[in-house]
Amino acid sequence: MARLFCWMIAAICLALTGDARAEDGYDLWLRYAPAAQGRAAAIHTHATMVAAPGTSATMTIATQELQRGVGRMTGTTPPVAVTIQPGALWLATPSTAPALPVRLDDLGAEGYAIRSVKQDGKAVTLIAANSDIGLLHGAYHWLRLAQSGVDLDRLDIRSAPRIGLRLLNHWDNLDGMVERGYAGQSIWDWWRLPDWKGPRYTDYARANASIGINGTVLNNVNAKADSLTTPYIAKAAALADVFRPYGIKVYLSVKWTAPMELDGLKTADPLDPAVAAWWTAKTDEIYKAIPDFGGFLVKANSEGQPGPQDYNRTHADGANMLAAAVKPYGGIVMWRAFVYAHDNPDDRAKQAYSDFKPLDGQFADNVIVQVKNGAIDFQPREPFHPLFGAMPKTPLMMEFQITKEYLGQSTHLTYLGPLFEETLDADTYANGKGSTVAKVIDGSLDGHRLTGIAGVANIGADRDWSGSIFNQADWYAFGRLAWDTSLSAETIAKEWAELTFSPDQKVVQPVVKMMMGSREAAVDYMTPLGLAHVMDTGHHYGPGPWVSDLARPEWNPVYYHKADANGIGFDRTRTGSDAVSQYAPPVAKMWANVKTTPERDLLWFHHVPWDYRLRSGETLWDGLVHRYDAGVRYVADMQTTWASLKPHIDAERFAETETLLTIQHREAQWWRDASIAYFQSVSKRPLPAGSAAPAHDLNWYKAQKFPYAPGHN
């Protein structure tokens, strides 16, 4: 009797709440939600079975993913068979089916074709590739199509990545803390590895493979030498074993002084034979454990990290020494260009170029220099980094930040697709018009074969992986753009919204609209008109434009905005730091002139009087205040839009986003008020009509302290 009662209660609870775990975000964009009846029937017609004549681990994963996806969408799991029947999803490579009715020559090792074909008179959907990994990517593409409303009858798709290395960089520490991580602790359970390999690692690999990511740097660039000890190599090897069948390679960040710290060498001078021998032996050890190890990522002589310059050697000397060690195995070295030195008084925005440009042509052929999208540090908006286009003899890879250190961390809805797109589409003019950053990093501009793009991960142990549902879109967008830089941020947002919420356009359209303007809104309420780095110190959470007392000049927000009684902005023209001259002449010319500088970059390049007239006719001061207002207003509009979606979104994800938007609105207002309170104390101008005075006086804003803000080492 008691038992019957328990069953009844459980049944009632389930009926009321649905499956409690169904929409907690864990499934990311791989939800495979039940399709509407007609659609489910259409999917079923094209997936009556999965015909896969191979048996590799990757092939098995591809077939299982198709079974899972179709099963969940239609309620019927298609069987796997070797023979091809009508309506089959047919997975084939030249080794399983030599005469395929589709060209594969331009698809490379990872690309695929998806085509509706007749095979022996039977209508089937062919997913064809040169390799099983290509098939896996194709399977995920087909599953995306199935979840959207696309007609599955006449498919003819060919897709291959132009960029070779599509990597996540984890800034994960060995103790589980994630530097600039806002989604909980690290997902790597270093302590229980290599024995315990929880299911999360597999789901991580699935998620990444589904968007084409093919490598992961496991540990923070602010590296500990310990990652290179034998026990930690075994741990990394265990992860590599999980990721391998998904086409994902493992890489490690290294600390430059590891030979000294781990084995007592007297020096880490890259030209010292004992140092080179140490790295060679260490590399041999790693490749014994991880035969397909990808290579090393290095942050050297940057923000206190040791490096070759400590021994009067160059970055190239350092990179080439490591490159020689991994070369016999086909490994690579990713050498970061994020450098600036406390003893260099020059504009921080110029220092990476000054250090690296003279080294063009001096790097070994398995070295790629990793350059952040902008010259300062992942700001809400930065002009593209001047190194792009400036080192034609050196492969350069892009480093984006997916985690939102400077764009609202885990709580703000600030979709990064438009930021990525803006940078990739920026024209360097290095070889004339059309020399976009995308062409620099895909190697086509200067004929490089080694190509790459990295994103600093926003992944943590939070159930939803990224700290919020909408932050998942940034991971997704990074992967999709890495695979195909020509995709638009809007197309990707649409795709993501369909997969994440519903293919119903009543949901997709408003969600995409919210997303598309959200980054610009953050620019407006944080750093309008080309301002940068005015975040509070250390944790970078919230506003701190007044901060001026830190030891190094370039740590202080006042260094970046240079507001004074006359005006505001950093003069980077010839009368100032002359950073503009690091760009190709047409670009330099545009930014050197205040009149031809797009207003979005105005204060990045110019110190402008408060009464300067903007294109709208308003003064700079009024325009600045209006932009802060517009940013806050946009967030309020997102709240309204989201509220209107309540009937269409599951309760759990609706409530989370609703709450986070409330936080965002409060913080946008705080950003606006604090910034205006401070800048008004300098500009001494009245607020334009209609703009409200800040809620508190400046001292109140200055007094806010957040010693436990997350993500700060």
Q: From the candidates 377, 422, 520, 571, which is the catalytic residue?
A: 377
Tokens 């790459």: give the residue: 452
Q: From the candidates 175, 263, 284, 303, which is the catalytic residue?
A: 303
The verdict on whether omega for the bond into residue 194 sits within 30 degrees of 0, i.e. cis, is: yes
Number of residues that bind ligand GCW (CB under 6 A): 11
438 vs 454, beta carbon nearer ligand GCW: 454
Measured from the CB of residue 119, what is the shortest distance to ligand GCW in angstroms?
51
**DSSP calls for 419-462:** HHHHHHH-B--BTBTT-BHHHHHTSTTTT-S--EEEEE----SS
412 vs 448, beta carbon nearer ligand GCW: 412
* Encoded tokens for 231: 């026990």
Core vs surface per residue 6-33: b (16+ CB within 10 A) or e:
eeeeeeeeeeeeeeeeebbbebbbbbbb
Residue 587 contacts residue 657 (beta carbons within 8 Å):
no
The correct pick among 29, 32, 90, 171 for binding ligand GCW (CB under 6 A) is 171
Q: 303 an active-site residue?
A: yes
406 vs 429, beta carbon nearer ligand GCW: 406
- Provide the β-strand partners of residue 336: 370
Q: From the candidates 347, 405, 474, 536, which is the catalytic residue?
A: 405
Measured from the CB of residue 711, what is the shortest distance to ligand GCW in angstroms?
8
The correct pick among 64, 77, 119, 222 for binding ligand GCW (CB under 6 A) is 222
Footprint of ligand GCW on residues 288-327 (CB under 6 A)?
Answer: 299, 303
Spatial separation of the C-alpha atoms in residues 460 and 476, rounded to whole Å: 15
Measured from the CB of residue 621, what is the shortest distance to ligand GCW in angstroms?
30
608 in helix, strand or coil?
A: strand
39 vs 299, beta carbon nearer ligand GCW: 299
Spatial separation of the C-alpha atoms in residues 571 and 606, rounded to whole Å: 4
* Encoded tokens for 89: 């999803």
Spatial separation of the C-alpha atoms in residues 474 and 492, rounded to whole Å: 10
Check residue 217 for interaction with ligand GCW (CB under 6 A).
no
401 vs 436, beta carbon nearer ligand GCW: 401
Check residue 539 for interaction with ligand GCW (CB under 6 A).
no
Spatial separation of the C-alpha atoms in residues 607 and 622, rounded to whole Å: 16
The correct pick among 115, 137, 170, 180 for binding ligand GCW (CB under 6 A) is 180
**DSSP calls for 636-680:** HHHHHHHHHTGGGS-HHHHHHHHHHHHHHHHHHHHHHHHHHHHHH
Q: 377 an active-site residue?
A: yes
The correct pick among 179, 355, 571, 673 for binding ligand GCW (CB under 6 A) is 179
Measured from the CB of residue 406, what is the shortest distance to ligand GCW in angstroms?
8
* Encoded tokens for 309: 């310059």
Spatial separation of the C-alpha atoms in residues 392 and 371, rounded to whole Å: 14
135 vs 217, beta carbon nearer ligand GCW: 217
Measured from the CB of residue 207, what is the shortest distance to ligand GCW in angstroms?
23
Contact string (CB under 6 A) for ligand GCW, positions 320-339, x = contact: ------------------x-
Helix (H) or strand (E) holding 584: none
Task: Please name the residues in contact with 669: beta carbons below 8 A apart, sequence gap of 6 or more.
Answer: 632, 695
348 vs 448, beta carbon nearer ligand GCW: 348
- Provide the β-strand partners of residue 334: 297, 368
Footprint of ligand GCW on residues 101-120 (CB under 6 A)?
Answer: none
Check residue 541 for interaction with ligand GCW (CB under 6 A).
no
Tokens 């024209």: give the residue: 427
Footprint of ligand GCW on residues 344-383 (CB under 6 A)?
Answer: 377-378
206 vs 299, beta carbon nearer ligand GCW: 299
Check residue 405 for interaction with ligand GCW (CB under 6 A).
yes
Q: 658 an active-site residue?
A: no
**DSSP calls for 242-297:** HHGGGT-EEEEEE-TTHHHHHH--S---TT-HHHHHHHHHHHHHHHHH-TT--EEE
* Encoded tokens for 223: 């590296």
Measured from the CB of residue 532, what is the shortest distance to ligand GCW in angstroms?
12
Measured from the CB of residue 376, what is the shortest distance to ligand GCW in angstroms?
9
Check residue 221 for interaction with ligand GCW (CB under 6 A).
yes
Measured from the CB of residue 552, what is the shortest distance to ligand GCW in angstroms?
13
Measured from the CB of residue 282, what is the shortest distance to ligand GCW in angstroms?
22
366 vs 370, beta carbon nearer ligand GCW: 370
Q: Which residue is nearest to ligand GCW (CB)?
A: 377
Q: Please, what is the end-to-end C-alpha distance for the chain in angstroms?
A: 56
Q: What is the sign of the dihedral through the CA atoms of 647, 649, 650 and 656?
A: negative
Residue numbers annotated as active site: 303, 377, 405
Q: Which residues bind ligand GCW (CB under 6 A)?
A: 171, 179-180, 221-222, 299, 303, 338, 377-378, 405
